[in-house]
Structure 1
Amino acid sequence: MASAPVPYSHVDCSLRALAGQAQGFGRFAVGGLHGELYHVTTLSDDGPGSLRAGCRKKEPLWIVFEVSGTIELSSHLSVSSYKTIDGRGQWIKLTGKGLRLKECEHVIICNLEFEAGRGHDVDAIQIKLNSNHIWIDRCSLKDYADGLIDITRESTNITISRCHFSNHDKTMLIGGDASNCGDRCMCVTIHHCFFDGTRQRHPRVRFAKVHLYNNYTSNWGIYAVCASVESQIYSQCNIYEAGQKKVAFKYLTEKAADKEEASTGCIISEGDLFIDGTKSGLLEPTSTPSNPFHPSQYCQTWTVVPATNELKHVLQHCTGWQDVRRPPDL
């Protein structure tokens, strides 16, 4: 195991060093690496120089901000392929609605805040319909009408890292419905995130293979992690600190549309730290598949450290939006 508790700090040495530096399933995401710089010069929802105008362009773009403040979105903001939305160097909050990644690939979203999204089916970030190679890094997300991050409909090769989730109920959903059997292809990595008193779904998973490592989940309201139909979750060196609800892992039984019998999912726990009276809630090993998912099946190296109080302190202070300068575009 590596000794450094905060991974890939070197990526802030130059602007585009971020591309390709994700760990886990989203590690090949390049975003707008091969495109021009697009400068957001207004906090307006649309129009010249707006974030929306940049995201709808078809060519690769590395999007940076020349302004700080709140962008009030009147509708979902669709992000097209080969885009980096890079909030380093400014403070940008998205509110009202959220980002929609639909049938797109190679998107990086870094160092933004999401707060107070309202309306039916409004998530902070929706990833859906065969989206691929996505990395969400160092974002703060809270208080949306539906989910904070929802990953559905055969979207895969996704990494969520160093994000701070707070003041919310249904935090992160991976696999939207037991009828979507194509979601068996989905693969997601979640690491170095802080789930800060959020109620449930850290994450809730159907069908997908999910690698959780070095996250801190605190004071959940129902459960920390939920495995449902055919999901395989590998929980490695995470910290689970209960509040009133003591059981970290929950299992739900559902029937895949192409199966005769209902089933639940599988959770394997390695090196996790359960503190303040937390009970794992793990099922007996007899429920584990004969060839369970292991992270080494997709990646030989990742930055994982033991689950300790030191790691807990790091995650409390080094997740979510960070006041860092925008690196030069060398």
Structure 2
Amino acid sequence: MVLSANEISASNVYPEKTPAFPGAEGYGRYVSGGRGGKVYHVTNLNDSGEGSFRWACDQKGARTIVFDVCGTIHLQSQLKLTNGDVTIAGQTAPGDGICVADWDFCIAAPNVIIRYMRFRPGDVSGGEPDGLSGMDGKRIIIDHCSVSWSVDECLSVYGNEHMTVQWCIISQSLRHSTHAKQAHGYGGNWGGKGATYHHNLLAHHDSRTPRLGNRPTYVQQDTTDIRNNVMYNWSGNGCYGGEGMKVNFVNNYYKPGPATDARATGSRQPLAYRICGLGVSTKENDGSYLIWGKYFVDGNDNPDYPSLLNKNWEMGIYPQISSENPGYTVATKDSIRLSEPLPYMYVSTHTAADAYEKVLAYAGCSRSR
């Protein structure tokens, strides 16, 4: 395979080059998961006990989890995956598949593959659950999952190393629910040291579509590649953050909806054509304190604002940066803009318009047996 000038060879990231599965791409392309290990069968929809999903997750050693049943698993408490080297093969479930409900699912282990699962915590727990979360991990790929009805963020998988989130639907976070801050309803936190987010749909969120955030471990080491995603009906701050991060925004499709404000707000331009409102951290105890990031922005499209396609930076980035950010000057906009993309692992990249059609056709937990 001939690499582009900015594409990273897999041998620089993984010692072996066997894809996680056909169609795996990005920084998590070569995650091995449970390959070569035991197979555990989920035979019931119970919260715990032998044959349950929790029981299978709690096993140790390389393993693949398959499902002999379909339906909704109503958790009684958070399900935290603490033992890695695992493949969760949701596509093996019969019928319409598996939904994990009522509490959050957290990835707290390395070398994880998750495919064709639904996560819908809702507010039954009375807490502030994410739908699917995971921080400070390594070698993770999440493929064709549907995550919705979270109280906090739907999908907050960030601060990880060598990770991909692809072909997922991240939608309908709960705005008025049990969150202590009251009105909430956020899409997710994204970022990482070698993190790819491609061909995902983010829809119907009050804010954080996504919120770009790093972790203290990776300040100024992030390389986050965001391409061919579809953002629909965002509100609040939309996409913002990126403090001290290095990010590609390539060929994403932004489609305003009924909740998307077309008016200017404060010192910023209308939210309806925002790509990202970049900023810096103002907290002295944050490792990225007063550090601007570096950003490559190209090919992003919005059907309601066709001029954005050729003016990504001039419309979608620069005027969206609040002048209230410390240290922000006219020179800042030139210092943070990149003319070439940051290094990235291979992704089959489409135009924004083509990605829109493909994401609508194929994203999410879309396989039935």
Does TM, normalized by the shorter one, top 0.5?
Answer: yes
Contact 2:19–2:32 (CA under 8 A) maintained in structure 1: no
Following the alignment from structure 1 to structure 2, what is the Cα–Cα distance between the partners of residues 296 and 209?
Answer: 7
Shift of 1:26: 1.4
The C-alpha deviation readout for 1:151-190, integer Å capped at 9, x for no partner, is 35x4221110000111112111136xxxxxxxxx633210
SS of corresponding position for 1:30? coil
Following the alignment from structure 1 to structure 2, what is the Cα–Cα distance between the partners of residues 150 and 205?
Answer: 10
Runs of 4 or more off by more than 6 Å in structure 1? none
SS of corresponding position for 2:290? coil
Q: How does 1:83-102 map to 2 (within 5 A)?
A: 83-90=86-93, 91-102=97-108
Letter of the 1:281 counterpart: G
Contact 1:209–1:231 (CA under 8 A) maintained in structure 2: yes
Shift of 1:194: 0.9
The C-alpha deviation readout for 1:263-282, integer Å capped at 9, x for no partner, is 44444211111221386431
The C-alpha deviation readout for 1:96-142, integer Å capped at 9, x for no partner, is 1121112x1110111011113334341111212x3100111101111
Change (3 A) 1:51 1:270: same
SS of corresponding position for 1:189? strand
User: Structure 2: any 5+ residue segments left out of the alignment?
Assistant: 1-17, 174-184, 215-221, 262-271, 309-314, 319-329
Are 1:281 and 2:316 matched, yes or no?
yes
1:10 aligns with none
Following the alignment from structure 1 to structure 2, what is the Cα–Cα distance between the partners of residues 26 and 43?
Answer: 29
Are 1:144 and 2:150 matched, yes or no?
yes
Following the alignment from structure 2 to structure 1, what is the Cα–Cα distance between the partners of residues 69 and 49?
Answer: 15
2:190 aligns with 174
Among 17, 29, 34, the alignment partner of 1:27 is 29
Contact 1:64–1:86 (CA under 8 A) maintained in structure 2: yes
Are 1:297 and 2:343 matched, yes or no?
yes
SS of corresponding position for 2:149? strand
Are 1:160 and 2:186 matched, yes or no?
no
Among 268, 271, 285, the alignment partner of 2:296 is 268
Are 1:210 and 2:224 matched, yes or no?
yes
Letter of the 1:195 counterpart: L
Contact 2:45–2:52 (CA under 8 A) maintained in structure 1: yes
User: Structure 1: any 5+ residue segments left out of the alignment?
Assistant: 1-15, 176-184, 326-330
The C-alpha deviation readout for 1:246-302, integer Å capped at 9, x for no partner, is 132212331363679624444421111122138643127853557959666243x32
1:199 aligns with 206
Find the structure with the greater CA-based Rg: 2
Higher strand fraction (1 or 2)? 1
- What fraction of aligned residue pairs are identical, expressed as a percent? 25
1:230 aligns with 244
SS of corresponding position for 1:186? strand
2:366 aligns with 322
